[in-house]
């Protein structure tokens, strides 16, 4: 081994050891601009071990000073530098690297670098913006599908709006990916995201209304009941059917009267969903209408009506259900037998009065963010240029909690602060400011 190669490896090894040492001081050279510059140079070294040691050191250092130098490596010709750049950017968590991380998904690196998607989701609004830009320029179906799966993890109105819009994409793979993303999306907590769901149900195109009718149920009765009741009158049969099913899952008996009307819908699929939903509600008020539905010409409606009567445990339904034991459809006969067994084994016995309607929990008020006093904001921004590192760090933390976008530019400047802890605090503050989580 030549003395030159040995020297390169020694330099990288010493840098790594210094970074991982518990006694390394925050303000020491190991965490300053000189160390970052040396490691970035070693990252491109022709000796594989020196470059690998530099990679591990940069990843463990998580210094925002490296971000702008690592971003260009995402489009390197060789695969290994691209992957190492992605891992370093994920470890740093700097919002400036969001576009580059989204690019890794566009370039098809998602199979080897799945952490990029989780990191983008944790960045909040920064990740949403990067993913939407990547979607606009990406033409590959597989890459777009992966971008959509990450968008589905965001509680962001822009992400939800994009996903509902892509349900009408000409590419079936993209349509399916958007549908899966909405199906797996978390329950919307952000009021603006919830409004996107409601607007999609009441004013979107047919694919958006169908999906919203299934997804809105996750928001609870307080938010979803009225829009879903309105959707029972939609011109699209699938929307009406999905809305009826969602109303059953809401378990709110205020929907019973509307579902009884829907039980007479012209489409069998809608009648079936309404009958099944009434069974989920288990309200005795539906007994007469469900008994009439036992004579429906559609097999699936008769099965659902039998199921619903079994859930209601009304002994007045026993004779009509017994008549179905001779139905020409085996499925209907099984449904009737199951309903009779449920009624006979019900511990409550016959019911003569309807149970009280479920009272939905009171909606938790979403407090509007209080605007920060402009003078206080200016004081915090000025503190970022103070002489004491601790004061600058505390100012960065406080600016992130303001959620005021006027703090973005000063915090971006703080990413180049001489003090390592101030730079890390600026990264977390920028993420929190746009609804993300801190990068610990």
Angle at 174 between CA 243 and CA 206, to 5 degrees: 30
Residue 128 pLDDT greater than 80, yes or no: yes
Residue 382 CA, distance from chain mean position: 36
Top-confidence residue, 250 or 17 = 250
Kindly list the structural domains of the chain, giving each domain's residue range(s) and its CATH number in brackets, ordered by start.
Answer: 1-61 (no CATH), 282-350 (1.25.10.10), 374-433 (1.25.10.10)
Percentage above 90 pLDDT, the chain: 56
In this structure, are residues 138 and 110 in contact, taking their beta carbons and an 8 Å threshold? Answer: no
Per residue in 144-178, pLDDT tens?
A: 998 999 999 888 999 999 999 999 999 999 999 99
Residue 133 pLDDT greater than 50, yes or no: yes
The pLDDT of residue 313 is 82
Mean pLDDT calculated for residue range 103-107: 88
Per residue in 355-382, pLDDT tens?
A: 444 444 434 544 556 777 888 889 999 9
Residue 193 pLDDT greater than 70, yes or no: yes
Per residue in 194-211, pLDDT tens?
A: 899 999 999 999 999 999
Per residue in 397-409, pLDDT tens?
A: 999 999 899 999 9
The mean predicted confidence, pLDDT, of the chain is 85
**CA gap 58, 12 in Å, rounded:** 11
Percentage above 70 pLDDT, the chain: 86
The pLDDT of residue 440 is 67
Residue 44 pLDDT greater than 90, yes or no: no
**CA gap 282, 280 in Å, rounded:** 5
Q: Is the pTM of this model over 0.95?
A: no
Mean pLDDT calculated for residue range 255-274: 95
Find which of 26-30, 366-370, 419-423 is predicted with most confidence, using mean pLDDT.
419-423
Token couple for 331: 């499925």
Banded pLDDT at 113 (limits 50, 70, 90): low
From 21-35, 150-164, 229-243, 335-349, the region with the lowest mean pLDDT:
21-35
Reduced 3-state DSSP string for the chain:
CCHHHHHHHHHHHHHHHHHHCCCCCCCCHHHCHHHHHHHHHHHCCCCHHHHHHHHHHHHHHCCHHHHHHHHHHHHCCCHHHHHHHHHHHHHHCCHHHHHHHHHHHHCCCCCCCCHHHHHHHHCCHHHHHHHHHHHHHCCCHHHHHHHHHHHCCCCCHHHHHHHHHHHHCCCHHHHHHHHHHHHHCCCCCCHHHHHHHHHHHHHCCHHHHHHHHHHHHHHCHHHHHHHHHHHCCCCCHHHHHHHHHHHHHHCCHHHHHHHHHHCCCCCHHHHHHHHHHHHHHCCHHHHHHHHHHCCCCCHHHHHHHHHHHHHHCCHHHHHHHHHHHHCCCHHHHHHHHHHHHHHHCCCCCCCCCCCCCCCCCCCCCCCCCCCCCHHHHHHHHHHCCCCCHHHHHHHHHHHHHHCCHHHHHHHHHHCCCCCHHHHHHHHHHHHHHCCCCCCC
Banded pLDDT at 8 (limits 50, 70, 90): very low
In this structure, are residues 343 and 313 in contact, taking their beta carbons and an 8 Å threshold? Answer: yes
Mean pLDDT calculated for residue range 123-132: 95
From 88-97, 314-323, 339-348, the region with the lowest mean pLDDT:
339-348
Cα-Cα-Cα-Cα torsion 332, 335, 336, 339, nearest 10 degrees, comes to: -160
Count of residues in the chain: 440
Top-confidence residue, 1 or 109 = 109
Angle at 222 between CA 221 and CA 223, to 5 degrees: 90
Mean pLDDT calculated for residue range 64-82: 90
């Amino acid at each position: 081994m030549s003395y030159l190669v040995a020297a390169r490896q020694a330099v990288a090894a010493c840098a790594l050891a210094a970074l991982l040492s518990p006694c390394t001081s925050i303000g020491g050279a190991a965490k300053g601009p000189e160390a970052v510059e040396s490691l970035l140079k070693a990252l491109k070294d022709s000796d594989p071990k020196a470059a690998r040691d530099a990679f591990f050191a940069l990843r463990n250092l998580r210094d925002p000073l490296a971000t702008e130098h690592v971003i260009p490596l995402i489009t390197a010709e060789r695969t290994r530098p691209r992957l190492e750049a992605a891992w370093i950017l994920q470890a740093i968590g700097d919002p400036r690297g969001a576009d580059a991380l989204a690019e890794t998904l566009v370039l098809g690196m998602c199979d080897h670098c799945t952490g990029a998607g989780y990191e983008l989701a944790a960045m909040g609004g920064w990740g949403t913006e990067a993913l939407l830009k990547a979607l606009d320029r990406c033409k590959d179906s597989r890459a777009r599908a992966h971008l959509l799966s990450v968008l589905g993890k965001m509680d962001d109105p822009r992400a939800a709006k994009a996903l509902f819009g892509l349900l009408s994409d000409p590419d079936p793979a993209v349509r399916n990916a958007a549908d899966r993303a909405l199906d797996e999306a978390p329950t919307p907590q952000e009021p603006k995201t919830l409004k996107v769901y409601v607007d999609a149900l009441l004013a979107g195109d047919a694919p958006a209304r169908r999906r919203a009718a299934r997804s809105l149920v996750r928001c609870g009765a307080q938010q979803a009941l009225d829009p879903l009741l309105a959707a029972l009158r939609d011109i699209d049969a699938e929307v009406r059917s999905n809305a009826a099913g969602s109303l059953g899952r809401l378990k709110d008996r205020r929907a019973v009267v509307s579902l009884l009307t829907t039980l007479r819908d012209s489409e069998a699929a809608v009648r079936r969903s309404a009958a099944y939903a009434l069974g989920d509600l288990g309200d005795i008020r539906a007994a007469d209408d469900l008994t009439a539905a036992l004579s429906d010409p559609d097999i699936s409606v008769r099965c659902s009506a039998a199921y619903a009567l079994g859930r209601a445990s009304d002994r007045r339904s026993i004779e009509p259900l017994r008549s179905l034991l001779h139905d020409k459809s085996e499925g209907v006969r099984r449904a009737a037998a199951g309903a009779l067994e449920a009624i006979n084994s019900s511990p409550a016995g016959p019911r003569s009065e309807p149970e009280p309607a479920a009272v939905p929990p009171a909606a938790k008020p979403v407090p509007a963010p209080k605007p920060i006093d402009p003078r206080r904001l200016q004081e915090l921004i000025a503190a970022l240029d103070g002489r004491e590192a601790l004061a600058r760090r505390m100012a960065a933390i406080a600016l992130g909690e303001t959620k005021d976008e006027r703090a973005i530019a000063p915090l971006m400047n703080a990413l180049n602060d001489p003090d390592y802890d101030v730079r890390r605090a600026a990264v977390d503050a920028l993420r929190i400011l746009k609804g993300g989580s801190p990068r610990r």
